[in-house]
């Protein structure tokens, strides 16, 4: 049996369409995997820098607590938040804890500036300088993380890639937004 040119074209289309669709799904899926891994890798960089900040907290608490007039509740709160960050399960929880830590450290900085005895402490000056440098490193890594999140989230929300994302369970990742006027973001 000999097929005519129209029947041959129809058969080619019937075979090529599912193959092209499967190829598109595979390429899109792999793109999501790569972008999701980039987000996780960049979060690990944020985490590394943030751990440096977390490691400074006991030193800040030890130095500041030696001054009786320093607000004890602030020091207790920062210690509690430090433990919560270290025990957080997942990026969302770490971001929420980091935001709370940043707010409390900002309070410590404000309080620190209000007490001349604390400002005169050479140990605390050195720790605060280290903290500032660490916050700058965090800001750089945070920006890179947010860039990777933006790329992933844009693809998840785009059509028709959003269909592949939903089918395979890719979810938008949270941005790590700084606190306006908070540490490293003081308004001039």
Comparing CA positions, the residue from 69, 65, 60 lying closest to residue 183 is 60
pTM across the whole model: 0.76
Tens digit of pLDDT for each residue in 56-95? 888 888 877 766 455 677 778 888 888 998 898 888 888 8
Tens digit of pLDDT for each residue in 136-186? 999 999 999 999 999 999 999 999 999 999 999 999 999 987 654 444 433
Query: Is 179 buried (19+), middle (13-18) or exposed (0-12) by CB count in 10 A?
Result: middle
Residues of the chain with pLDDT > 90, as a percent, come to 45
Q: Name the CATH topology of 41-188.
A: de novo design (two linked rop proteins) (1.20.1440)
The domain spans of the chain are 41-188
């Amino acid at each position: 049996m000999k097929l005519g040119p129209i029947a041959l074209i129809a058969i080619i289309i019937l075979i090529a369409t599912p193959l092209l669709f499967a190829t598109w799904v595979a390429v899109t899926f792999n793109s999501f995997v790569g972008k999701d891994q980039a987000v996780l890798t960049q979060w690990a960089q944020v985490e590394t820098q943030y751990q440096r900040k977390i490691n400074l907290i006991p030193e800040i608490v030890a130095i500041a607590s030696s001054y009786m007039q320093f607000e004890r509740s602030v020091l207790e709160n920062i210690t509690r938040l430090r433990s919560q960050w270290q025990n957080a399960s997942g990026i969302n929880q770490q971001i929420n804890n980091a935001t709370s830590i940043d707010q409390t450290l900002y309070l410590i900085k404000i309080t620190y500036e209000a007490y001349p005895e604390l400002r005169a402490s050479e140990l605390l000056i050195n720790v605060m300088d280290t903290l500032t440098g660490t916050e700058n490193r965090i800001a750089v890594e945070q920006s890179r993380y947010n860039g990777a999140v933006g790329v992933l989230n844009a693809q998840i929300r785009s059509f028709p890639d959003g269909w592949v994302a939903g089918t395979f369970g890719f979810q938008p990742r949270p941005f790590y937004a700084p606190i306006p006027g908070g540490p490293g973001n003081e308004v001039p």
